Amino acid sequence: MRLASALCALVLFSSACSDSQSDKSTGVRHVVYWEKWTDFEGEAMGRVVDAFNAKEREHARAEPSYRPIEVEMVTISAIEQKLLIASAGGNPPDLAGIYSFMMPSYADKGALTDLTERAKRDGVERSQYVGRYYDLAVHRDRLWGLPSTPASVALHWNKRLFREAGLDPEKPPATLEQLDEMAEKLTRWEVTLASGEKQIKVGYLPDVPASQKRLLQVGFLPMEPAWWSYGWGFVFGGKLIDGDKITAASPENIQAYEWLASYSKKLGVDSVQRFRSGFGAFASAQNPFLSGQLAMEIQGVWMYNFIKKFADGMLWGAAPFPAPAAHPERRGTANAEVDQLIIPTGSQHPDEAWTFIKYTQRQDVMEELCLGQRKHTPLANVSEAFYAKHPNPYIRLFREMGASPNAWSSPKTGVWNEYGRELTTAADKIANLNISPQEALTQVQTRVQISYDRDRSMILRRQR
């Protein structure tokens, strides 16, 4: 990255650095692209940018009158805040890569360029994508971005721990009840007897005082990780928003969080807190799943990367998350989100930015990007070569989870950040048995409904 570009990124004035006078003098149309990814994921997108720029230079050599587009990718941390600040200040980048949950709020604030007509003109259609991933870029019947790399989640399990517990390592739980039963068999304690002797025992041990037992291994913890603790209601048929109503306290959601609380009751809050306090960082060999302390957990398509890096040789599997036995149709309930390429309002080069976005949607380009980031592709068509090259042995599964009718995503509302925080806080209190699910979720519903109504009123005023 040139020094000038780095300085521009620091002061959030990237597009000012690519002024039109400079572009005309060099014969190059300069596009500044803000990207959130670093490490191998950022490098994968960097290769796409390099390939696009090389293609543009080749076009200019073949046709001297053609002014090539040059995309400069600038890595930006905390893009959720910085992009909005830059847009509000009238100095956004020409192009940005964002998380799908950011889009509704940005669109409602007028910070995004509407891409609907450009997509129609150039034949970009929903049928070319996995429907959910395309739909995540649509808000209030307008298209605000196009997908880049997607992600979905599934149940991961440790096959060695299954075998040691007498379970078939090739058979993950098919129902939620089976998951609960297996979790008990996969839970191990160190128990201190009155004599001082220590023994290893299996199960939940409700009759042993917490002071005499220490968790060594747990079969499953709904709050580990807590990243999707706001989404358990979907497994039980719940919703977070229904029409214009916040539905945090629906019967289905309450049932979900009663199930979450059941693990704290069976294991003991103090025991779980002590156990979790010993976990290492997620991206480390001390991650509870990678270290063998946790036998099953929900994780995303990216988990393969961390298994390979920190627990190479681990015997593991991935499968759809089970559903209650009474509702087998809910099997595979999974969070599915997608990165999006958007053009901020005020972009100095929206047409050039759109040209780059379209380039990334080519099947060959998208597959190379998704291979580089080790994710599945959001496109409807996938080559067999993509699957053959992909290192994740369960990559087809994650694509199926993203395309599943049971996939769920963050609700499209400008108050989602607040709603998600409220639900996560409520889940933590419920897991610690500080409050009942009914009371906690009712409080969330009441507070967020006020914010939701206020947000809708502001949007309606802008539209008048």
Helix pair 251-267, 176-185: axis angle to 10 deg: 10
Cα dihedral 56→57→59→62 (10° resolution):
180
Q: Could you tell me which residues come within 8 angstroms of residue 355 by beta carbon, excluding any fewer than 6 positions away? A: 69
Helix then strand then coil, % of the chain, to nearest 5: 50, 20, 35
Strand-pairing partners, residue 199, are 191
CA atoms within 13 A on the CB side of 304: 21
pLDDT band at residue 459 under the 50/70/90 scheme: confident
pLDDT at position 55 over 70: yes
The region of weakest confidence among 87-91, 183-187, 249-253, 367-371 is 87-91
Q: How far apart are CA 71 and CA 50, in angstroms?
A: 8
The tens digit of pLDDT for each residue in 380-433 reads 999 999 999 999 999 999 999 999 999 999 999 999 999 999 999 999 999 999
Q: How far apart are CA 387 and CA 299, in angstroms?
A: 20
Give the number of other CB atoms < 10 A from CB of residue 325: 11
Please give the residue that has the higher pLDDT: either 462 or 101.
Answer: 101
Strand-pairing partners, residue 200, are 190
pLDDT at position 271 over 70: yes
In this structure, are residues 236 and 324 in contact, taking their beta carbons and an 8 Å threshold? yes
In this structure, are residues 137 and 117 in contact, taking their beta carbons and an 8 Å threshold? no
- The pLDDT > 70 percentage for the chain reads 94
pLDDT score of 404: 95
Element (H, E) at 143: strand 142-143
Average pLDDT rounded to a whole number, residues 87-110: 94
pLDDT at position 8 over 50: no
In this structure, are residues 204 and 185 in contact, taking their beta carbons and an 8 Å threshold? no
Average pLDDT rounded to a whole number, residues 78-88: 92
> What are the structural domains of the chain?
3-152+337-408 (3.40.190.10), 157-187+217-335+411-456 (3.40.190.10), 188-216 (no CATH)
In this structure, are residues 366 and 379 in contact, taking their beta carbons and an 8 Å threshold? yes
CA-based radius of gyration for the chain: 24
pLDDT score of 463: 72
Q: How far apart are CA 94 and CA 163, in angstroms?
A: 54
Helix pair 251-267, 416-431: axis angle to 10 deg: 40
pLDDT at position 25 over 80: no
Q: How far apart are CA 421 and CA 334, in angstroms?
A: 19
Cα-based distances in Å from 354 to 21, 156, 265, 349, 463: 21, 38, 53, 9, 26
